[in-house]
């Protein structure tokens, strides 16, 4: 199983802080699975068409997917995926 964590305004769409998913494929597959589960608002935030949007930051085991293959990043049993909106601070 994959542990999925949601943060900040992403929680407005999921109504929960975390969940588990089968997610044996790619990050893109996982976000599609989650879009089915949480509905249009989540999907609209997570995707621009078929591409993962720049409005979300997705970490797999602490690594931004931009540096691991993007939506094609492969997931393995026991991985932790964290989904954030674009945020900033200082």
Partner 1 sequence: MDKFGKVLRVNLTTGTIGIESLCEKTMKEFIGGRGYATKVLYDEVPAGTDPLSPQNKLIFANGPLTGKGAPSAGRYMVVTKSPLTGCIASSNSGGFWGAELARAGWFMVILEGKAPKPTYLWINDDKVELRNADAVWGKDSHASTDALLDDVGDSKAKVTCIGPAGERLSKLAAIMNDKNRAAGRSGVGAVMGSKNLKAVVVKGSARPYVENQDEMKAVLAGAMEKLKTNPVTSQGLPTYGTAVLVNIINQLGGYPKNNWQGAYFPEADTQSGETLAKDFLTKRYSCFGCPIGCGRVTRVGDREGEGPEYETIFAFGVCCGVERLEPIIEANYLCNEYGLDTISAGVTIAAAMELYEKGFIRKEELEGGPELRFGNEEAITYWTKKMGLVEGLGRKLAEGSYRLCEMYGHPEFSMTVKKQEMPAYDGRAIQGIGLNYATSNRGGCHVRGYTISPEVLGLPEKLDPVDISTKPTWVMIFQNLTAAIDASGMCLFTSFALGADDYAAFLKAATGLDFDGAAVLQAGDRIWNIERMFNLREGLDPTNADTLPDRLLKEPIPDGPSKGMVSRLPEMLPEYYKARGWDVKGLPTDTKLRELALK
Site residues (vs partner 1, CB under 8 A)? 5, 7-9, 11, 17, 54-55, 57, 59, 61-64, 66-67, 80, 82, 84-90
Q: Which token pair is 13?
A: 């769409």
Nearer to partner 1, 19 or 80 (CB): 80
Q: Provide the minimum distance between the beta carbon of 20 and partner 1 in the complex, in angstroms, as a whole number.
A: 17
**What is the CB neighbour count within 10 angstroms for residue 82?**
18
Q: Provide the minimum distance between the beta carbon of 40 and partner 1 in the complex, in angstroms, as a whole number.
A: 19
Q: Provide the minimum distance between the beta carbon of 71 and partner 1 in the complex, in angstroms, as a whole number.
A: 14
User: Are residues 17 and 11 in contact, defined by beta-carbon separation less than 8 angstroms?
Assistant: yes
The C-alpha atoms of residue 79 and residue 42 are separated, in whole angstroms, by 21
């Amino acid at each position: 199983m994959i542990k999925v964590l949601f943060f900040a305004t992403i929680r407005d769409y999921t109504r929960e802080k975390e969940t588990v998913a089968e997610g044996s494929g790619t990050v893109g597959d996982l976000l599609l699975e989650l879009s089915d589960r949480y509905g249009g608002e989540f999907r609209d935030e997570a995707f621009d068409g078929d591409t993962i949007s720049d409005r979300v930051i997705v970490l797999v085991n602490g690594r931004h997917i931009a540096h691991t293959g993007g939506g094609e990043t492969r997931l393995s049993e026991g991985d932790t995926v964290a989904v954030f909106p674009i945020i900033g601070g200082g």
